[in-house]
Chains A and B, each alone.
Chain A
Amino acid sequence: MRLIPERFKHNNLFITMFTITVLIIVTVSVTITWTTIRMSEQFFFDKFSITNARVMKQLNESLDKFNYSIVIASNNLQQSVTLKEILTKEDESNVERLSSIYTMSQLMKRLEPNLDAYEVSIIVTGINGISYATDRSYWPIHDEELKNSYLTKKTYENPNKLFYQYDYRPNREDGRYIVATKALLERTSGNNYGSLYFAIKETEFKKFYSNFTSPGNNVFFVNSDGIIVSSNQSKLIGQKSNELLGYATKSGEGKNEDYIIGDFMGKEQIILMEYIPSFDMYMFNTIDKQTAFGSLIDTNKILLIVMGIVCIALIIVLLASRRLTNSLSKMVKQIENTSKHDFHQYVSVSGTYETRQIGKAFNSMLDELHEYVDQLVVSQKQRRNAELAALQQQINPHFLYNTLTSIKMMANHGSKEETESMINALISLLQNTIGNVNETVTVNQEIANLRNYVLINQKRYGNRIKVNFFVSGDCEEYKIPKLILQPFMENSFFHAFNHKPEGFIHVLIWKEGNLLICEVVDNGDGMEVSADSHLPPSNRKQEFFSGIGVRNVDERIQLTYGESYGVQISSELGEGTKVRITLPL
Chain B
Amino acid sequence: MKKVLALFLVSILFLAACSSGSSKDTSGETKDSNEITVWAWDPNFNIKAMNLAKDAYKSDNPDLEIKIIENAQDDIIQKLNTSLSSGTTKGLPNIVLIEDYRAQSFLQAYPDMFHELTGTFNSDDFAQYKIAPTSVDGKNYGLPFDTGVSGLYVRTDYLEQAGYTVEDLQNMDWKKYIEIGKKVKEATGKHMLTQDPNDLGLIRMMIQSAGSWYLKDDGKTPNLAGNEALKVAFETYKEILDADLVKPISDWSQFLAGFNSGDVATVPTGNWITPSIKAEASQAGKWAVVAHPRLPGVPESVNASNLGGSSWYVLNVPGKEDAADFLAKTFGSNVEFYQTINKEIGAIGTFKPAADGEAYQAGDDFFGGQKIIADFAAWTEQIPQINYGLHTYAIEDILAVEAQNYIKGKDLDKALEDAQKQAEAQVK
B19 adjacent to A102 (CB under 8 Å): no
- A447: CB under 8 A from chain B? no
Distance (whole angstroms) from the CB of B95 to the closest CB of chain A: 23
Report the Cα distance A136→B199, complex, angstroms.
15
A142 adjacent to B253 (CB under 8 Å): yes
A101-B196, A102-B198, A312-B8 given as contacts; is B250 within 8 A of A132 (CB)?
yes
B253 adjacent to A136 (CB under 8 Å): yes
- A308: CB under 8 A from chain B? yes
* Stretch from A91-99, A205-213, A495-503, A574-582 contacting the other chain: A91-99
Report the Cα distance A387→B1, complex, angstroms.
65
A94 adjacent to B241 (CB under 8 Å): yes
Say which residue of B12, B15, B408 sits within 8 Å of A304 (CB atoms): B15
Distance (whole angstroms) from the CB of B279 to the closest CB of chain A: 13
List, in ascending order, chain B residues with CB within 8 A of A104's CB. 250
Q: B388-418, CB under 8 A of A: which get 1 and which 0?
A: 0000000000001000100110000000000
- A350: CB under 8 A from chain B? no
Say which residue of A102, A131, A298, A316 sits within 8 Å of B404 (CB atoms): A102
A136 adjacent to B12 (CB under 8 Å): no
A98 adjacent to B253 (CB under 8 Å): no
Distance (whole angstroms) from the CB of B70 to the closest CB of chain A: 10
A305 adjacent to B19 (CB under 8 Å): yes
A102 adjacent to B252 (CB under 8 Å): no
Report the Cα distance A140→B407, complex, angstroms.
31
A95-B242, A95-B244, A101-B248 given as contacts; is B8 within 8 A of A315 (CB)?
yes
A102-B197, A102-B198, A312-B12 given as contacts; is B249 within 8 A of A142 (CB)?
no
Q: B1-33, CB under 8 A of A: which get 1 and which 0?
A: 100100010011001001100100000000000
Report the Cα distance A308→B12, complex, angstroms.
8
B19 adjacent to A319 (CB under 8 Å): no
Distance (whole angstroms) from the CB of B51 to the closest CB of chain A: 16
Q: A86-122, CB under 8 A of B: which get 1 and which 0?
A: 0000000111011111101100000000000000000
Distance (whole angstroms) from the CB of A150 to the closest CB of chain B: 20
Q: How many residues of B contact A (CB 8 A)?
A: 31
B8 adjacent to A101 (CB under 8 Å): no
Report the Cα distance A101→B244, complex, angstroms.
16
- A301: CB under 8 A from chain B? yes
- B217: CB under 8 A from chain A? no
B244 adjacent to A304 (CB under 8 Å): no
A98 adjacent to B195 (CB under 8 Å): yes
Report the Cα distance A96→B400, complex, angstroms.
15
Q: How many residues of A contact B (CB 8 A)?
A: 29
> Which chain B residues (207-259) contact chain A, with CB distance < 8 Å?
241-242, 244, 246-254, 257
A94-B244, A305-B15 given as contacts; is B1 within 8 A of A132 (CB)?
no
List, in ascending order, chain A residues with CB within 8 A of B244's CB. 93-95
List, in ascending order, chain A residues with CB within 8 A of B19's CB. 301, 304-305
A102-B400, A105-B197 given as contacts; is B248 within 8 A of A97 (CB)?
yes
B22 adjacent to A308 (CB under 8 Å): no
Say which residue of B247, B257, B408 sits within 8 Å of A94 (CB atoms): B247
B252 adjacent to A136 (CB under 8 Å): yes
A308 adjacent to B242 (CB under 8 Å): no
Q: A127-153, CB under 8 A of B: which get 1 and which 0?
A: 000111100110010110000000000
A94-B244, A94-B248, A305-B15 given as contacts; is B404 within 8 A of A99 (CB)?
yes
Distance (whole angstroms) from the CB of A318 to the closest CB of chain B: 10
List, in ascending order, chain A residues with CB within 8 A of B404's CB. 99, 102
Distance (whole angstroms) from the CB of A480 to the closest CB of chain B: 67
A99 adjacent to B408 (CB under 8 Å): yes
A101 adjacent to B253 (CB under 8 Å): no
B257 adjacent to A142 (CB under 8 Å): yes
Distance (whole angstroms) from the CB of B172 to the closest CB of chain A: 23
Distance (whole angstroms) from the CB of B338 to the closest CB of chain A: 28
List, in ascending order, chain B residues with CB within 8 A of A305's CB. 15, 19
Report the Cα distance A132→B244, complex, angstroms.
21
Say which residue of B12, B18, B22, B246 sits within 8 Å of A98 (CB atoms): B246
List, in ascending order, chain B residues with CB within 8 A of A137's CB. 252-253
Say which residue of B191, B241, B249, B253 sits within 8 Å of A95 (CB atoms): B241
* Complex: chain A residue closest to B403, CB-CB: A102
List, in ascending order, chain B residues with CB within 8 A of A308's CB. 12, 15
Counted as pairs of residues, one from A and one from B, with CB atoms less than 8 Å apart, the total is 72
Distance (whole angstroms) from the CB of B25 to the closest CB of chain A: 14
> Which chain A residues (282-314) contact chain B, with CB distance < 8 Å?
298, 301, 304-305, 308, 312
List, in ascending order, chain B residues with CB within 8 A of A304's CB. 15, 18-19
Report the Cα distance A61→B340, complex, angstroms.
53
* Complex: chain A residue closest to B257, CB-CB: A142
Report the Cα distance A93→B245, complex, angstroms.
11
Say which residue of B22, B198, B250, B408 sits within 8 Å of A131 (CB atoms): B250
Report the Cα distance A98→B404, complex, angstroms.
9
Distance (whole angstroms) from the CB of A123 to the closest CB of chain B: 9
List, in ascending order, chain A residues with CB within 8 A of B251's CB. 132-133, 136
* Complex: chain A residue closest to B241, CB-CB: A95
* Complex: chain B residue closest to A124, CB-CB: B250
Report the Cα distance A104→B247, complex, angstroms.
16
Distance (whole angstroms) from the CB of A130 to the closest CB of chain B: 8
B249 adjacent to A140 (CB under 8 Å): no
List, in ascending order, chain B residues with CB within 8 A of A130's CB. 250
B4 adjacent to A319 (CB under 8 Å): yes
Report the Cα distance A100→B241, complex, angstroms.
14
Report the Cα distance A316→B407, complex, angstroms.
102
Distance (whole angstroms) from the CB of A364 to the closest CB of chain B: 32
List, in ascending order, chain A residues with CB within 8 A of B242's CB. 95
Report the Cα distance A97→B247, complex, angstroms.
9
List, in ascending order, chain B residues with CB within 8 A of A136's CB. 251-254
Report the Cα distance A140→B252, complex, angstroms.
10
A142-B257, A304-B15, A308-B15 given as contacts; is B407 within 8 A of A101 (CB)?
no
List, in ascending order, chain B residues with CB within 8 A of A315's CB. 8
Q: B59-102, CB under 8 A of A: which get 1 and which 0?
A: 00000000000000000000000000000000000000000000
Q: B249-285, CB under 8 A of A: which get 1 and which 0?
A: 1111110010000000000000000000000000000
A133-B251, A308-B12, A308-B15 given as contacts; is B241 within 8 A of A98 (CB)?
yes
List, in ascending order, chain A residues with CB within 8 A of B257's CB. 142
* Complex: chain A residue closest to B249, CB-CB: A101
List, in ascending order, chain A residues with CB within 8 A of B195's CB. 98
Report the Cα distance A305→B14, complex, angstroms.
11
Q: B167-204, CB under 8 A of A: which get 1 and which 0?
A: 00000000000000000000000010001111000000
Report the Cα distance A102→B408, complex, angstroms.
12
B247 adjacent to A101 (CB under 8 Å): no
A133 adjacent to B250 (CB under 8 Å): yes
A101-B250, A133-B253, A136-B253 given as contacts; is B197 within 8 A of A301 (CB)?
no
Distance (whole angstroms) from the CB of B166 to the closest CB of chain A: 26
List, in ascending order, chain B residues with CB within 8 A of A101's CB. 196-198, 248-250
* Complex: chain B residue closest to A97, CB-CB: B248
Report the Cα distance A102→B400, complex, angstroms.
9
* Complex: chain B residue closest to A141, CB-CB: B253
Distance (whole angstroms) from the CB of B24 to the closest CB of chain A: 13
List, in ascending order, chain B residues with CB within 8 A of A316's CB. 8
List, in ascending order, chain B residues with CB within 8 A of A95's CB. 241-242, 244, 246, 407
A94-B241, A304-B19, A308-B12 given as contacts; is B407 within 8 A of A99 (CB)?
yes
Report the Cα distance A104→B404, complex, angstroms.
13
Report the Cα distance A131→B241, complex, angstroms.
20
Report the Cα distance A133→B196, complex, angstroms.
12
List, in ascending order, chain A residues with CB within 8 A of B1's CB. 319
List, in ascending order, chain A residues with CB within 8 A of B408's CB. 99
- Known A101-B249, A131-B250; 12 more pairs at CB < 8 Å: A93-B244, A94-B191, A94-B247, A98-B246, A99-B408, A101-B248, A130-B250, A132-B250, A142-B257, A301-B22, A304-B19, A319-B4
The 3 closest A-B CB pairs, nearest first, are A102-B197, A97-B248, A98-B248
Can you list 11 A-B contacts with CB-CB less than 8 angstroms, sorted by A residue number? Answer: A94-B191, A95-B244, A98-B197, A98-B241, A98-B246, A101-B248, A102-B400, A105-B250, A142-B253, A305-B19, A308-B15
